[in-house]
Structure 1
């Protein structure tokens, strides 16, 4: 597959203030405004298909997502960041899932899958739904160097939002962390990268 080199401007912006559901890590306090020099990272984005990737406006300026196309961003690092947990909340027109990170920004993909399975074993995960998004974060770990989990609990975290039924920890193996999003029905989504602190955000329309 032909790949396109894309430069993404990594700029901070306002995090959601009311992300109520928590799986693993407590919500991080985020400033209402933040200014710092723009840092540019070169990543590879899969152009077929390429979903919405945004780093600009805050939550209050965003409407519901408009595309169901899958997203892939590739990055490499010698020090994989840690996944601390996932949070979720309902917003007007969409649900938001936030993956909290410590360290740099990893690569990731967000793809439609027919069901959720445990990474490594391939065993099915009991999380009924009408549609499934598989988020693969890599390079990243959900455990410390001593093997202690940094994302505790689960693997299934009940959400019960407008469309998101639950969030599932599907794996933490060989610098790959899996996060499944169980939906009531297939709907448009977008991916946001946020800074200070590091987060990966997936919004799914109701």
Structure 2
């Protein structure tokens, strides 16, 4: 009787190990989820807001916008050369601005200093460890809203300002 219990226990262990190995190899064989690729960023002035659009190939990743005291390049920690007193940091993660072969896929601006009503500077500040980061610079505290648009995938940051389109009649 004791030998029979040992046989059943050994058989059960072998089946359990075989099942674990089979599921591990199945997981290894299935393709890994593709990383969202940040391919472009565009900026424009509208009558009552400046707009930043970040274009993504693949699924739009979670994106955060937060106020920061200064802008720094990810990885190096060097200060981003944009003048301003107020800054926003935009982070997309998980995302990359390069493909699996390491080739750059981002075609947008690296550092620009537009003279828009509110937005005074914009830069790609990082493509590091699955996080793509941008920075925006302002002379005065920005009031902003965000939204996600689909088909094609893009993240939108609208920064409010006074109406510049009103005619003075």
Give the shorter-chain TM-score range. Answer: 0.7 to 0.9
Matched, 1:191 2:141: no
One of 113, 138, 149 as aligned partner of 2:104: 149
Deviations 1:37-62 (A, max 9, x none): xxxxxxxxxxxxxxxxxxxxxxxxxx
Partner of 2:135: 180
Partner of 2:74: 119
CA contact (8 A) 2:39 2:108 kept: no
Partner of 2:60: 105
Partner of 2:44: 89
Q: Higher Cα Rg: structure 1 or 2?
A: 2
Task: Give runs of ≥4 in structure 1 deviating > 4 Å.
Answer: none
Q: What is the CA distance between 1:197 and its match in structure 2?
A: 0.3
Q: What is the CA distance between 1:187 and its match in structure 2?
A: 2.0
Q: What is the CA distance between 1:159 and its match in structure 2?
A: 2.2
Give the alignment of 1:1-206 within 5 angstroms: 78-152=33-107, 154-206=109-161
Partner Cα distance (1:126, 1:116) in 2: 8
Q: Secondary structure at the match of 2:106?
A: coil
Partner Cα distance (2:106, 2:77) in 1: 20
TM-score under structure 1 normalisation?
0.60
Partner Cα distance (1:153, 1:198) in 2: 15
Partner of 2:24: none
Query: Structure 1 residues 117, 149: CA separation in 2 closer, same or farther (over 3 Å shift)?
Result: same
Q: What is the CA distance between 1:101 and its match in structure 2?
A: 0.6
Partner Cα distance (1:110, 1:196) in 2: 22
For these two proteins, the number of residue pairs brought into alignment is 130
Which structure carries more strand by proportion? Answer: 1
Partner Cα distance (2:134, 2:107) in 1: 13
- Which consecutive residues of structure 2, in runs of 5 or more, have no partner in the other structure? 1-31, 162-169
Partner Cα distance (1:158, 1:82) in 2: 24
Q: What is the CA distance between 1:154 and its match in structure 2?
A: 4.7
- Which consecutive residues of structure 1, in runs of 5 or more, have no partner in the other structure? 1-76
